[in-house]
Structures are given as C-alpha cells and as structure tokens.
Structure 1
Amino acid sequence: MKLIENLKWRYATKKYDSSKKVNDEDLQKIKEAIQLSASSYGLQLFKVLIINDKTVREKLKPVSWGQSQITDASHLMVFCNYNKVTDDDVETYINLKAEVQDLPISSLGGAADFMKAKMKEKSAEEKISWTARQTYIALSNALNACAELKLDSTPIEGFDPEAYSEILKLKEKGLSASVVMAIGHRSEDDATQHAKKVRKPLKALFETL
C-alpha cells in the first residue's frame, strides 16, 4: 500500500525552503482532496482560506508562536469552521444534492427536516465545537494528499484564534479559525527530517472486543 509508505515519509516539517513553491497542479489536487473529505451529513460547514499575501502572513506569524512555517512555507491554509448552522445551510446542501443527483427536491424533504431538527438540538457552543471537528477530517485528507504528492506539510494548532479572527476578518464572514496547515518543501537544514518517527505500537492503539 503506497499510502503507508508515503505516511512513513512525511513528518511535521519545522523548516521550509522558502525558495521552492508548490505548483498549481499539485495545489489543485490538494484542494480536491479537501473537497472530497467526509463531513457530517455531507454539509461541509467549513471554508479553507489560502493565505498568499506576504504582508498578511507576516502579521499572522507573531500570533502563531513565531513559527517560521507561517511565512516560509509555499502555501498557508487556514481551516475555518462556521460559527452558526442555519436552516439555510441545510437547504443549500439539499438543493445541491438534488441538482447533482438529478432528484426532485420533494423527495429530499424528509432528510432536510431531519437535519434541521438535529441542528436545533445543539446549543450554540455545541454547534461551534461540532463544526470545528469537521475541519480536522478535511485537514487529514490534505495531509494525506501532500504525502502522496511528496510535498511537505505541517498541521499547526499553535496560534491565537482571536488574533487570526481579527487579522483575517473572520467574524464578518461567520467563521472561526480552527487549524492551520503549511505546505511546501522541506529545507535541507531541517534536522527533524532525519529523526525516527515516534508512534505507539499497534497493540497499544487497537483492542478487539
């Protein structure tokens, strides 16, 4: 299985070669991998911001624990979750499903009502927590896609969400920054690439009942 070998190859890159850029074709594949990620009810209640503006990335660096990946990686993705979930979000999905699968809207009324009812069972805090968790599924797909493409990547949780929200004007968009991902090519000076991968043994992770 090629994926296993590629996952053994990847690591959380600490230092990037800022002179090397990810090409548009590979970036498109990563975006498609994110698009194809599983999500609860298929609603995809998240958005991924690709930060290319160098000035913006310089502003994000000090509120990201000063991590060099923020500015040196070829691309920076900020995975954002929806702050609110409304009936309109469900209707948008139902309309898209009807269009893509060539189904009459009337046949999906029961599914729409069910989803709307389940959304109303969640508190505002529960909805934010739930949508934030969805971003991690998409992040996992992106990390795996990078490994397949032999591109380096770094998932980053070390940042100030409120500062990100202010710099990227997320509240106006109804979003919150959940997790960040740097993508690019490792620097030859990154000593971390030579370290053995540390993972718990399979017997410690799995239990058959």
Structure 2
Amino acid sequence: MACLHDHSCEDHDCAADWSLYKHIDLPKVSALNEAVHGSVKSVFKAWECRLDSSGGYLESNDGDPELLVFIPFTSDVKIKSISVVGGADGTSPSKMRVFINRDGIDFSDAQNMQPVQEWDLVENLQGVLEYQTRYSRFQGVASLTLHFPENFGAETTQIHYIGLRGEATQLKRDVVATIVYELMPNPSDHKTPADAGGGFSHVE
C-alpha cells in the first residue's frame, strides 16, 4: 500500500510542519506486552503513511489487551493532539491514559498513578480523529508514556499508527539540566560570619 497524499491535510492542521514524528527518539521507543518485540517502532511514521501497515503494527499478547508505550523525544516538545489508529474487529484500544516525563513505569505504576490526561477512544480506522490535549499541561515534554488499558472486546489490542502533533523547542534535555544546575545557588558560596559559630545567615 502506497502512502497517501491527503489534500485536506492543511485544512485541519495536520500538516507535516506540526508533526512531531521527526522529533521522536525512535531507537529508544519501547512497549510492554507487545507480542513481537520491537514492533512498536512501526507505528510511528509520517502522517501520509498512517494507513500503511506493510511495515508491521503493534499487537498485544494473546488474551491480554493492555499495552504501555514509552516515547522519548530528541528535544523537548509541546504536544497539541494525539491520533491513534487501531485495528478492526474490536482490537482498537478504547481508552488512553497519558503520563509525561515518567521513565520506566510499568503496568502497576500506570494503573495506580494519576494520568496527566485520559480519553475514551473511538474506533479511528482512517486516522482522521485527533484527541486534543490540555495544552498547558503538555509543555516541556521530554518523554510520553501512553497506557492503553482496554479495547473494544477482542483478545488482543492492535495499534497501526500513533501520531503526535505540536511543536519542538529544540532544547536538549541535558542542556536544560545544565542551565538549572548553574542557576541553583550554592550555600557554600555565601558564607557569613555566622557560619563560624555553626549557624547560617541568609544573605539577600
């Protein structure tokens, strides 16, 4: 199946300029409970290729529809919307819960933690629906974890495409950490006579 050229793409703001696909750190993308190891990487592709599953798709293990997808970025991003194309015959995920900047969480963590946002999904087989984020909460995102706890009744969950729309800040995470470190005051740099007596006097 060839990739589609969607003439209406610019009309509803899904143009490539807004896609965060190129800012995903694809080699580090991972999933828990995927039937085929590494298959999660195949669901991230250009918008016009969203219906092309020739490169594979993500499917959960038989009898266990729950999936957890970890998506790191190469720079901080702001996320405006998320699009998910699931499988047919009840295999599409029916709920999505999202966590930000929480590396290494497992299913137990995901079930017990409060998500930044969650959505009830519909079967979106053509990829035309986007789920809007609470944009003010999706700033400075270094990684995104998507929890799909259930589907529409099938034995497995299938995901063929995940699309993220927003903006990249081009600010690397290690640069941010360095800036924060340099801005933090070091009490040892502000010693006063009171220090000699074992106390500490705050200097304005």
Report which structure shows greater RCO (CA 8 Å, sep ≥6).
1
What TM-score comes out, normalization by structure 1 length? 0.27
Higher strand proportion: 2
Higher gyration radius (CA): 2
